[in-house]
Amino acid sequence: MKFPALQISEILHGTVEGDTDISVDRPSKIEEGGEGTISFLANPKYTHHIYDTTASIVIVANDFTPTDKISATLTRVENPYTAFTELLEFYDNFLKSQKVGIEQPSYIAEGAITGENMYLGAFAYIGAKCQIGNNVKIYPQAYIGDGAKIGDGTVIYAGVKIYQGVEVGKNCVLHSGVVLGADGFGFAPQMDGTYKKIPQTGNVVIEDNVEIGANTTIDRATMGSTMVKKGTKLDNLIQIAHNVTIGENTVIAAQTGVAGSTKIGEHCMIGGQVGFSGHIKIGANSQIGAQSGIMSDLKEGSGVIGSPAFDFKDFMKSYVIFRRLPQLSNKINEINKKLNEIEK
């Protein structure tokens, strides 16, 4: 479907400068634009591209003043980057809304409740007593276990596995390979040196507006719930262990591992490959650098890096020193040699 410039300007609360009837059907980079595409100009270093781009529409700032002729129709807005993000969201939601209906073969167990405008892809499975909301999109080969609950507007991509009793809120996005509700890693050592499995009887609760990246796994609680609170964004390849709680609007980058019963506060920013010990508390608004090892509690607003992690500023001061350790070692050896000569 094509969208005319006038409709786009209304969506973005902007103004059109040029052909109001020209239409586009896909986004593009400004330097790669073609006929029928829409792009944007936010970074000044790309300004020269606006004079030779073949994109049909370009989103620019209200105060943009061209210095040469521009063939594209302009949509003027307050913040081009934000506006283009909103447009991409609109476009993505439009594409997703086109998926409706139940493909075959697929399976819906007796007693499952499904909402309106659902899409269920081929080879997908919905278990007994599941509750699926309105406008939910479940792509092929997804598995929804018995008693699971999926909120309105949630998108579940191909190959996602949601175990029994897991609850997923509204407008969530689960990318391919996500596993929610597998057993937590709980084993009790025995006198004979073996390990006995501890039953994992809880569940996983994902609140509204959470996005979970591909191949991320979140384990069910031993008792109670493993919690991911609203607005949180998880990258690919993250492991969240049993009974963990992640606060609202926290972002976590790829390959991070969170051990059992750790509590992470709201609005935290966590880099890639961070490792958390179990049973610790991370204060709200904390920032943790990539590859940090977090072994103890962090107070609210902490900024740490390193393994074991410590304060950003102290780390940078220390780094200046330990990167020069070979030279310092050589100097110490020279001083010792001279002292030995003096003593002789």
Q: Following CA atoms 283, 285, 289, 292 in sequence, which dihedral angle do they give, to the nearest 10 degrees? A: 10
Among 13, 242, 267, 279, the active-site one is 242
184-217 burial, b for 16+ CB within 10 Å, e for fewer? bebeeeeeeeeeeeeebebbbbbbbbbbbbbbbb
**Among 225, 211, 221, 259, which residue's Cα sits nearest to residue 239?**
259
DSSP string for 155-220: EE-TT-EE-TT-EE-TT-EE-TT-EEEEPP--EEE-TTS-EEEPP---EEEE-TT-EE-TT-EEEP
Q: In what order do the strands lie in the sheet containing 251-252?
A: 101-102, 119-120, 137-138, 155-156, 173-174, 211-212, 233-234, 251-252, 269-270, 287-288, 303-305, 310-311
CA 87 to chain centre: 19
Reduced to 3 states, what is the DSSP secondary structure of residue 288?
Answer: strand
The answer to whether the CB of 104 falls within 8 A of the CB of 116 is no
267 is catalytic: no
Give the number of other CB atoms < 10 A from CB of residue 147. Answer: 18
209: its two tokens: 């507006």
Residues with a catalytic annotation lie at 242
